[in-house]
Each structure stands twice: as C-alpha cells, then as structure tokens.
Amino acid sequence: MSAKRTGLWRWAPIAPATALLLLFLAGPIGYCVWIAFTNTQLTGASGSDFVGLDNFRRAFADDNFRNAVRLTLVFTFISAVIGQNTLGLALAGLMRAASRPVRTVTGTLVITAWVLPEIVAAFLLYTFFRREGTLNALLDWLHLPGQNWLFTLPILAVSFANVWRGTAFSMLIYSAALAEIPRDITEAAEVDGASGPRRVWHITLPMIRRSIGTNLMLNTLSTLSVFGLIWAMTRGGPGNRSQTLPVFMYDQAFLKSLIGYGTAVALLLLLVGSLFSIVYLRLMKVEV
C-alpha cells in the first residue's frame, strides 16, 4: 500500500493531461518548427522539401508581411497598450470615487462586452462602424461629417472593437490592485497637500506598478492572437489594410495554399509570444 504512494507511482495521475499536452500542443508546435523550413503546399504536386531559411528570408523581403507586422504593432499598441490598459485603469480609478449605482451599471456593461462570444462582439462593432451604421447616425445627429469607417480607417475600427471587448480584464485587475493600497497612505499624502494628479503619479502608480506590468503583458499577448474579431469585421481588408499577422498567416496558408510560408509566419508569432511569456514569468517572479 505505502509503496504505491511513494516514488513515480504517485505522479501517475498527471499522465492523461501530459499526454494531451504533448500530442495536441507540443506536437503541433514541433510540427510547426519542421514545416516552417519546408516548401509544403496545400495543393499541387510539389511535396515538402527542406528549404532552410527560405520562408523566413522571403517573409522579411515580402511587403505584405512587413505590412502585417506594422499593422500588428499598430493594433496592439492602440488597442492593448493605450486602449485596454489605460481605459481599464481609468475606469477602476474612477469607480472608487463614483457612487454605487453608477459603478454597478458601468461595471456590468463593460463586463458584458467581455463575456460575449468573440464573433457576436465582432458583429456588434461591425454594425456600429458600417456606413449605414450607428456611429455615422450619431455623427449626423451632431452635424459632424461621417465616413465609411471600415473602409477609410479599418485598423482603427478593429482596434476600437478590441478595446470595447477587452477592457474589462484590465478593469478587474486594476480594481483588485487599487483595493489593496492601504488607505492611510493616500490620506497622509492628502493631508500633506498633494493634489489629485500628483497623488496618482507619485503614490498610486508606483504602488501598482507590478499589476501594470503583468496587465500590459497579458493584454499584449491576447491581442497578438486576435483573429475572429478582425476576420468577421473586415477579413483583413480592404486590400490588406487591417491584415494583422494571424490574418496574414491564415491568408497565406489557406487562401494562397502556401502552408510552409504561412507556418513560418506562425512560428515568428509564436516566438514573439514566447518572448513576452518569459518576460511575464520573470516579472511575476512566480512562486510555484
């Protein structure tokens, strides 16, 4: 009996999960690394030959790839770093000063946008930004000129959509972080005559800087992999003007049948993600 509880045997329950992770997660990642160095195509006679770094060389020379990298940076910066992060922090901060009903209403709406399935959120923002949509109706009512947002500023429209959908996460993180700041510290500063903005800058922000770090990291990571939202709103278009890396990857691998090339792009995305992951783990100084 006790022999069963010692040694390797007691680690047996971990086997099913490990098997799944190896087969369906580590497997595809390994396969990804292999395919990225071949010229595999979905159709046609050409098999899969090892082509070394060709796919990567080709990517860095490809205008469309560079466009996708640029758009991914813009999308991530506007929607995750500026949008979700700053708006989430502002909402969490304002909620501490606001009255209870206002806090409840705002919180509920922001969280509902977050809990809705990705595709539903995408359709809602799609109708909002269309030429015949609500945004232009509002602008018209204010006697401001409207435009075809999904055509003129597609990357801005999808960025806004991602802010609408993802801000709740930051709001929850920052609400928790702000609640942990001891009240007497802010009160002491208030007594010393520090103004609102100065209190925020010198006390609040330094005290929640670790939350800011982890939140930025997680927002960035989740934004890097957004596909459904952009796909449903713009399909990466018009042209390639909202084609971020995941959409570009899908386009190359499936619509253009260049599996090897698409996978190389995926591998680059995975590498960037891993880099962020590692920084995140270090930043958190995880205690396991």
Best CA proximity match to 88, nearest among 237, 214, 224, 199: 214
Stretch that binds other proteins, among 58-66, 118-126, 145-153, 181-189 (CB under 8 A): 118-126
Cis peptide before 117 (omega within 30 of 0): no
Return the structure tokens found at 184.
């007497």
Q: Is 87 helix (H, G, I), strand (E, B) or coil?
A: helix
Q: Is 50 helix (H, G, I), strand (E, B) or coil?
A: strand
Min dist CB 52 to other proteins, Å, is: 18
43 binds other proteins (CB under 8 A): no
Determine contact, residues 85/163, Cβ cutoff 8 Å.
no
* Contact mark string toward other proteins, 58..87, x via CB under 8 A: -----------------------------x
Cis peptide before 238 (omega within 30 of 0): yes
Contact with other proteins (CB under 8 A) among 64, 106, 148, 240: 106
Contact with other proteins (CB under 8 A) among 74, 81, 124, 200: 124
Q: Is 151 helix (H, G, I), strand (E, B) or coil?
A: helix
Which residues in the 229-248 window bind other proteins by CB under 8 A?
Answer: 232, 246
**Eight-class DSSP state of 195:** -
11 binds other proteins (CB under 8 A): yes
Return the structure tokens found at 265.
């792009």
Residues in contact with other proteins, counted by CB under 8 A, come to a total of 105
Stretch that binds other proteins, among 51-59, 75-83, 131-139, 151-159 (CB under 8 A): 131-139
Return the structure tokens found at 268.
């680059």
* Contact mark string toward other proteins, 140..179, x via CB under 8 A: ------------------------x----x--xx-xxx--
Min dist CB 155 to other proteins, Å, is: 18
Return the structure tokens found at 159.
């960025």
4 binds other proteins (CB under 8 A): yes
Residue 155 vs 208, nearer CB to other proteins: 208
Contact with other proteins (CB under 8 A) among 18, 46, 86, 195: 18
d(CA 125, CA 157): 8
Torsion of CA 48, 51, 52, 55, to 10 degrees: -90
The residues pairing with 106 across neighbouring beta strands, listed in sequence order, are none
Q: Characterise 195 by phi-psi region: left (phi > 0), alpha (psi -120 to 50), beta (else).
A: beta
Which residues in the 182-211 window bind other proteins by CB under 8 A?
Answer: 196, 208, 210-211
Stretch that binds other proteins, among 52-60, 74-82, 142-150, 275-283 (CB under 8 A): 275-283
Min dist CB 81 to other proteins, Å, is: 16
The residue type found at 30 is: G
The residue type found at 153 is: L
Stretch that binds other proteins, among 59-67, 77-85, 103-111, 149-157 (CB under 8 A): 103-111
Contact with other proteins (CB under 8 A) among 74, 81, 133, 139: 133
255 binds other proteins (CB under 8 A): no
278 binds other proteins (CB under 8 A): yes
